[in-house]
Each structure stands twice: as C-alpha cells, then as structure tokens.
Amino acid sequence: MSHTKNSQDPENSPKSRNSDKGNGVAEKRSSPMEVLRDARTQLTELTGMAAETVSSFEKTEDGWSLEVEVLELARVPDTMSLMASYQVDLDSEGQLTGYRRVRRYERGRSDARRSGGH
C-alpha cells in the first residue's frame, strides 16, 4: 500500500521544512533588537563585565558589528567609574565571532576623540 503523504515522514515535519543546511536547526532571521540583546548577553558572559549600552550597530557582509559600552571598574562617585568600548562582531545568525576593547574612559569625561558632530 502506497501513501502519497506520510505525517510521520521526517521530510514533511515542520522542523525539516524550516531547517537550513540540513543540520536540523530552524532558519530564523533575528530582528535587530534580538541581535542587540544576544550580543550584550554573550559579551557579558565572556568578559564577566556588565554591558550597559550599545553605542553603534550596523549590518555587515558577514553579519553584524556593534560597539558596546561596558562598566569595567565601579568607583565612587559613579562619574569616576571606568568604562570601556568594545567592538563586537557577530555572524549572520547573531553568534559572537570576536570582540576587542577599543578604548577606556571615565564615565564622567566627555569624548574628545570622536568626530562628525555627534
């Protein structure tokens, strides 16, 4: 007896229809907000420091590039706390592929190094 459609057939399962590259992982486009949240979480887990804000965010050929502001050393008063900017690179699926500290500064100091009127 021949069946034209078998609901138990793995090829017809929702997981198979939505998977990419045959690896069983459902293909899902992340929204920019999901990418931002995931990047902050991943950086915090790797560095052990609190990611406070994302100051730059852009789509690249390979995924995403962000600049994240991190509290490196809390001081009293808070305006003297030591902050750092990290460049964070993510692949197209939002997984962190690399990061590096690009600068350190005191929270209360203005940023003289930036140009462009911002």
The gap from C-alpha 16 to its chain's centroid, in whole angstroms, comes to 27
pTM of the model: 0.69
CA distance 1 to 28: 37
Give residue 10's pLDDT: 45
pLDDT tens readout for residues 50-103: 899 999 999 999 999 999 999 999 999 999 999 999 999 999 999 999 999 999
Give residue 1's pLDDT: 52
The CA-atom distances, in angstroms, between 42 and each of 37, 89, 103, 114, 117 are 9, 11, 19, 27, 31
More confident residue, 90 or 114: 90
On the question of pLDDT at 16 being above 60, the answer is no
Provide the residue type at 78 as one letter: D
Q: Which residues contact 77 (CB under 8 A, 6 or more apart)?
A: 108
Average pLDDT for the chain? 80
